[in-house]
A = this chain, B = another copy of it.
Amino acid sequence: MHIERAISAVHSLIRVKTKSSIVAKPPSQNTPLTEHLAYLLAQANREINRQLESRLAKEGVPVEQWRILKVLFDGNGRSMGELADAVLLNHPTLTKIVDRMVSDALVYRVQDPKDRRKVLMFCSERGKILCQRLNSLAMSQEAHIVENYGNKSTNELKRLLESLIDSAN
Contacts and interface: CB of A to CB of B under 8 A. Distances in A.
A168 B38 contact: no
A27 B138 CA distance: 11
Contact residues on A (Cβ < 8 Å of other chain), bracket: 35 or more
A21 interface: no
Tell me whether chain A's interface is mostly helix, strand or loop, or mixed.
helix
Q: How many copies does the complex hold?
A: 2
Given A132-B29, A153-B160, A165 B37 contact: no
Contacts of A27: 139, 143
Interface stretch (A11-19, A41-49, A98-106): A41-49
A10 interface: no
Nearest to A161: B40
Given A31-B135, A41-B48, A148-B168, 14 more contacts: A37-B154, A37-B157, A38-B138, A39-B88, A40-B165, A41-B44, A43-B88, A43-B161, A47-B164, A48-B168, A51-B168, A145-B167, A149-B168, A153-B164
Sorted from nearest, which 3 A-B pairs have the closest CB atoms? A40-B161, A45-B45, A41-B45
Interface of A: 24, 27, 29-31, 33, 35-49, 51-52, 63, 67, 70-71, 86-88, 132, 135-136, 138-139, 141-143, 145, 148-149, 151, 153-154, 156-158, 160-165, 167-169
